[in-house]
Amino acid sequence: MSSQFHKDLIHQYKTTCNKLKKIQRVFFKHFAPNVCEVADEFGSLAASFNNSLLPEYAALCYMGQGKCEKMIGNDAGEVDALLRAARTYRVAHNKQIKIKIENIYGDHLEGAFRCYTQALLKLPDDSVTKAAIIRELKEINPNVEIISNFSSPCHRIWDLEQSAEDSIKFHDYVAAFEKLTEIYDDIIERRCEALYPEVMKRVEITRLLLLCILQLPPSVRYDHKFIERYSSLGDTSTNLSSLFSDELFFLLQSLVISCQAKDIESLVEVRDELSHCSELSASQQLLLAELVSKYSK
């Protein structure tokens, strides 16, 4: 299919997402205008994306459909949409493996885990569907923890990241750092880093930017150990280098050293390089701008 057709589909997806956002802004308990209509649009778009061999976008549509079902209180519809999203993410993951796209496998598996675990929270312990979901989770990771109240990093990653984003908006950078560290430590303790490379990467970058902004003294326990990882320019002995491209890791090291030396000229140069880096999110770019502003005063 033509690239223009794909662009048109993506435009339709963005338009439908905007409709959902408008509904969410005016939504009240007994007032749900056009929610079912938007849910149907997401379902139709998901089918179109699947037919166009774009399962990653189909999964996003199913997640949008699930949000609509949640708004109208249709638990069964929400679970069904979440499971469709999880399974489609797995199709996207397998597609990437087949065509040998590197460094992004974990992103789709993370999406699948998130959808599976959100669906699990909607189901009673004795549900047949819940047992089936657990079996599918084990297909992704045979060592996933399955206990009576089901616990996995995915349960909390989304909530903690959103909470950290809220803390950042209110400039409570210590709270944001602690929430992101909780995610990082939980994944490390469970030894499931291979399933969450994208989470590990964005948490690591955001924590680094937060600490540079905070300018905490070396005596602060978590700051001291964390910053040491980036203190020697050119040293890639730390296993963190496996999270980043060589260029990004070097730029992060340069950023830390420029901050420690209070070398504003070098800091601005690093900022300019990082501003063109696609591996940094919009939120991280804003933190980077604030960091440079703070050191320039």
| 269 in the same domain as 140 | no
Tally the domains of the chain. Answer: 2
Of 90, 134, 96, the C-alpha closest to 109 is: 90
Average pLDDT over residues 246-273: 90
**Tens of pLDDT along 75-112?**
889 999 999 999 999 999 888 877 765 544 457 888 88
Quick one: 120 and 211 in the same domain? no
111-122 pLDDT, tens per residue? 888 888 888 888
Tokens of 194: 């291979």
Domain, as residue range, for 269: 154-296
- 223: domain CATH number is 1.25.40
Distance CA(100)–CA(236), nearest Å, equals 26
- Looking at residue 150, its pLDDT comes to 44
Those residues with Cβ within 8 angstroms of residue 255's Cβ, 6 or more apart along the chain or in another chain: 208, 212, 230, 267, 270, 271, 274
User: Of 86, 119, 151, which closes a domain?
Assistant: 151
Are residue 14 and residue 79 in the same domain, yes or no? yes
Judge if 8 and 147 occupy the same domain. yes
Does residue 39 contact residue 80 with C-beta atoms inside 8 Å? no
Nearest to 46 by CA among 57, 32, 37, 30: 57
Number of residues assigned to the chain: 297
What are the residues facing 31 on neighbouring strands?
28
Average pLDDT value for the chain: 79
* pLDDT tens by residue, 253-264: 899 899 888 899
DSSP-assigned beta bridge partners for residue 28: 31
